[in-house]
Amino acid sequence: LAKTTQPISMDSYEGQEVNITCSHNNIATNDYITWYQQFPSQGPRFIIQGYKTKVTNEVASLFIPADRKSSTLSLPRVSLSDTAVYYCLVGDENNFNKFYFGSGTKLNVKP
């Protein structure tokens, strides 16, 4: 089971770039790395997914080194509305019994 390790919490200020790193030492060859965002009283929401190198979309970037044992979610110029819990997941989307959300990283963006 490819579990993940993330910081429990992080603080940032509006306008800053935030980088959240996730460790996944036991990642398997078929595993993808997926990040979700969860606001209070809502279900998790997909942010970004990648397999290796770098992936970028309109919301975030995901950096994955060659050994894939870690990944970094980068949020450019955060705002107060980015305050949420961010989950790093590692797994094969075809084997859900191996999906593990963990406790996530609580990002607190201050004015």
Partner 1 sequence: DAGVIQSPRHEVTEMGQEVTLRCKPISGHDYLFWYRQTMMRGLELLIYFNNNVPIDDSGMPEDRFSAKMPNASFSTLKIQPSEPRDSAVYFCASRLGAGETQYFGPGTRLLVL
Report the interface residues with partner 1, using CB under 8 A. 34, 41-46, 49, 87, 93-94, 96-97, 99, 101-104
Smallest separation (angstroms) from partner 1 to the CB of 104: 7
Count each helix (H run) and each strand (E run) in the chain, helices first. 0, 9
Strands 105-110 and 9-13: parallel
Residue with the two structure tokens 């790093």: 88
Smallest separation (angstroms) from partner 1 to the CB of 41: 7
Task: Please return the burial class of 55, using the count of CB atoms within 10 Å of its CB with bins 0-12, 13-18 and 19+.
Answer: middle
Smallest separation (angstroms) from partner 1 to the CB of 56: 16
Which residue number, 45 or 69, has a Cβ lying nearer to partner 1? 45
Which residue number, 16 or 92, has a Cβ lying nearer to partner 1? 92
Asked if 91 contacts 1 with a C-beta cutoff of 8 angstroms, the reply is no
Which residue number, 16 or 28, has a Cβ lying nearer to partner 1? 28
